[in-house]
């Protein structure tokens, strides 16, 4: 039956819980596009037959194929757009750099398309830090990797070596915690 593949794409996304990004089904999308091409070509030839040969009994078939084409397009665009929504939600959570496991599931176009927009705004406002209110001002953190020199607000610099522990102001270390360089120590 027509539009089977398109429905499968939509179902795949529908099954995945919110926040999860399954791998991009390039194959699936390609099959949908191929089916659309085949349907369109069949319709073209039938339309010619109707015009030249007067075969108006073909009109219902043409209408039916047209509906399938519209459905295929709707499913394909819905699939792509829903993936964009998921990627966008993940970006809000993770910041500018998405973890590698996720990037593996994204198509090449998905990876390049999205970054420029928020960068422009970020030059005006710092958006990705300050995502949670905390009572404490200074965090105790342990360093997970060798990072090097790190300058704190009043000009003193701190050497971040693996396994060294420090007391750092919250806003400075939040970014590093997200990147995995520092680890918050809960005592």
Query: How far apart, in whole angstroms, are the C-alpha atoms of residue 15 and residue 3?
Result: 18
Q: Is 121 in the site for another protein (CB under 8 A)?
A: yes
Select the span of 9-17, 49-57, 141-149, 163-171 touching another protein (CB under 8 A).
163-171
Element (H, E) at 151: strand 148-151
Residues 24-83 that bind another protein (CB under 8 A): 29, 33, 36-37, 40, 69-70, 73, 76-77, 80-81
Residues belonging to the chain: 187
What 3-state class would DSSP assign to 43?
helix
Angle at Cα 108 formed by Cα 26 and Cα 126, nearest 5°?
Answer: 135
Q: Using CB under 8 A, pick the residue from 51, 133, 186, 187 that binds another protein.
A: 133
Q: Using CB under 8 A, pick the residue from 105, 142, 170, 178 that binds another protein.
A: 170
85-97 burial, b at 16+ Cβ within 10 Å, e below that, comes to: ebbeebbeeebee
Note the residues at the interface with another protein (CB under 8 A): 29, 33, 36-37, 40, 69-70, 73, 76-77, 80-81, 84, 88, 92, 107, 109-110, 113-114, 116-118, 120-121, 124-127, 129-134, 137, 154, 169-171
């Amino acid at each position: 039956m027509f539009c089977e593949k398109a429905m499968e794409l939509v179902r795949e996304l529908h099954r995945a819980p919110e926040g999860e990004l399954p791998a991009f089904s390039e194959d699936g999308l390609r099959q949908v596009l191929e089916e659309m091409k085949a349907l369109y070509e069949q319709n073209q030839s039938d339309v010619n037959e109707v015009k030249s040969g007067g075969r108006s009994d073909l009109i219902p078939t043409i209408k039916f194929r047209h509906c399938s084409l519209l459905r295929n397009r709707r499913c394909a665009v819905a699939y792509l757009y829903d993936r964009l929504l998921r990627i966008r939600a993940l970006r809000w959570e993770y910041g500018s750099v998405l973890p590698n496991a996720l990037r593996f599931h994204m198509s090449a176009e998905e990876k390049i398309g999205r970054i420029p927009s928020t960068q422009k705004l970020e030059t005006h406002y710092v958006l990705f830090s300050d995502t949670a209110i905390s009572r404490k001002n200074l965090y105790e953190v342990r360093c997970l990797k060798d990072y090097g020199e790190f300058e704190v607000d009043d000009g003193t610099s701190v050497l971040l070596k693996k396994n060294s522990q420090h007391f750092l102001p919250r806003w400075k270390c939040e970014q590093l915690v997200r990147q995995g360089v520092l680890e918050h120590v809960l005592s």
